[in-house]
Chain A
Amino acid sequence: MTRKTIKVNYLARVEGEGALNVTVRDGQVSSAELQIFEPPRFFEALLRGRDYSEAPDVTARICGICPVAYQMSSVHAMENALGIEVGGPLRALRRLLYCGEWIESHALHIYMLHAPDFLGYAGAVDMARDYPDIVKRGLALKKAGNAIMALVGGREIHPINVRVGGFYRTPTRKELAPLAETLKQAREDALATVRWTATLDIPEAERDYHLVALHHPDEYPMNAGRIISSRGLDIAVEDYNQHFVESHVQRSTALHSHLREHDCYLVGPLARYSLNFDKLSPLAREAAKEAGLGATCNNPFQSIVVRSIEVLYACDEALRLIASYEEPEQPFVPHEPKASEGFGCTEAPRGLLFHRYQLDAEGRILEAQIVPPTSQNQPSIEADLKELVGGWLHLPADALRERCEQTIRNYDPCISCATHFLKLDVRHE
Chain B
Amino acid sequence: MHETALVKNLIHKLQAICAEEGADRVVDIAVWLGALCHMSPDHFSDHFRQEAAGTCAERARLQIETSDDINHANAQDVLLQSLELETDDEALQ
A residues near B, CB below 8 A?
A: 1-15, 17, 36-39, 42-43, 46, 60-61, 63-65, 155, 157-158, 374, 412, 414-418
Contacts of B9 in A (CB 8 A): 12-15
Given A9-B81, A12-B78, 5 more pairs with CB closer than 8 A: A2-B87, A7-B81, A11-B79, A15-B8, A37-B1
Task: A42 to B43: give the CA distance in the assembly, Å.
Answer: 13
Task: A415 to B88: give the CA distance in the assembly, Å.
Answer: 40
Q: Which 8 A-B pairs have the closest CB atoms?
A: A64-B38, A417-B2, A414-B1, A12-B78, A61-B43, A10-B80, A14-B5, A17-B5
Interface residues of B in 31-71 (CB under 8 A from A): 37-40, 42-43, 46-47, 50
A-B contact pairs, 30 of them (CB 8 A): A3-B85, A4-B23, A4-B84, A4-B85, A4-B86, A7-B82, A8-B80, A8-B81, A8-B82, A11-B78, A11-B80, A12-B9, A12-B77, A12-B78, A14-B5, A14-B6, A36-B1, A37-B5, A38-B1, A43-B46, A61-B47, A64-B3, A64-B37, A64-B43, A157-B40, A157-B43, A412-B1, A414-B1, A416-B2, A418-B4
Cβ-closest chain B residue relative to A57: B42
B43 in contact with A46 (CB, 8 Å): no
Give the shortest distance, in Å, between B5 (CB) and chain A (any CB). 4
Contacts of B88 in A (CB 8 A): 1
Contacts of A4 in B (CB 8 A): 21, 23, 84-87
Task: A287 to B93: give the CA distance in the assembly, Å.
Answer: 73
Contact of B13 with A by CB under 8 A:
yes
Give the shortest distance, in Å, between A79 (CB) and chain B (any CB). 24
- Count chain B residues whose beta carbon lies closer than 8 angstroms to a beta carbon of A: 41
Task: A13 to B80: give the CA distance in the assembly, Å.
Answer: 11
A158 in contact with B42 (CB, 8 Å): yes
Give the shortest distance, in Å, between B64 (CB) and chain A (any CB). 13
A418 in contact with B1 (CB, 8 Å): yes
Task: A12 to B4: give the CA distance in the assembly, Å.
Answer: 11
Most B-side CB within 10 Å, residue of A13, A43, A60: A13
Give the shortest distance, in Å, between A174 (CB) and chain B (any CB). 25
Contacts of B86 in A (CB 8 A): 1-4
Most B-side CB within 10 Å, residue of A8, A12, A418: A12
Give the shortest distance, in Å, between B34 (CB) and chain A (any CB). 10
A11 in contact with B2 (CB, 8 Å): no
B80 in contact with A417 (CB, 8 Å): no
Given contact pairs A2-B87, A374-B1, A8 touches B78 in the complex (Cβ within 8 A): no
Question: When the two chains form the complex, which single residue of A7, A14, A36, A39 contacts B47, counting CB atoms closer than 8 Å?
Answer: A39
Given contact pairs A6-B82, A61-B43, A12 touches B6 in the complex (Cβ within 8 A): yes
B1 in contact with A1 (CB, 8 Å): no
Contacts of A60 in B (CB 8 A): 43
Give the shortest distance, in Å, between B72 (CB) and chain A (any CB). 12
Task: A2 to B89: give the CA distance in the assembly, Å.
Answer: 6
Give the shortest distance, in Å, between B6 (CB) and chain A (any CB). 5
A9 in contact with B79 (CB, 8 Å): yes
Task: A418 to B77: give the CA distance in the assembly, Å.
Answer: 14
Task: A13 to B7: give the CA distance in the assembly, Å.
Answer: 8
B80 in contact with A65 (CB, 8 Å): no
Task: A43 to B21: give the CA distance in the assembly, Å.
Answer: 34
Cβ-closest chain B residue relative to A415: B1
A37 in contact with B80 (CB, 8 Å): no
Contacts of A11 in B (CB 8 A): 74, 77-80
Contacts of B43 in A (CB 8 A): 60-61, 64, 157-158
Contacts of A36 in B (CB 8 A): 1
Task: A157 to B85: give the CA distance in the assembly, Å.
Answer: 31
Contacts of B12 in A (CB 8 A): 15
Cβ-closest chain B residue relative to A414: B1
A157 in contact with B38 (CB, 8 Å): yes
Cβ-closest chain B residue relative to A108: B38
Task: A43 to B3: give the CA distance in the assembly, Å.
Answer: 14
A39 in contact with B4 (CB, 8 Å): yes
A65 in contact with B38 (CB, 8 Å): yes
B13 in contact with A10 (CB, 8 Å): yes
Cβ-closest chain A residue relative to B78: A12
Give the shortest distance, in Å, between B90 (CB) and chain A (any CB). 10
Question: When the two chains form the complex, which single residue of B21, B40, B81 contacts A158, counting CB atoms closer than 8 Å?
Answer: B40
Give the shortest distance, in Å, between B11 (CB) and chain A (any CB). 10
Contacts of A64 in B (CB 8 A): 2-3, 37-40, 43
B1 in contact with A13 (CB, 8 Å): no
Give the shortest distance, in Å, between B78 (CB) and chain A (any CB). 4
Contacts of B19 in A (CB 8 A): none
Cβ-closest chain A residue relative to B66: A157
Contacts of A8 in B (CB 8 A): 13, 17, 80-83
Given contact pairs A1-B88, A1-B89, A5-B82, A155 touches B40 in the complex (Cβ within 8 A): yes
Give the shortest distance, in Å, between A121 (CB) and chain B (any CB). 15
Task: A130 to B7: give the CA distance in the assembly, Å.
Answer: 32
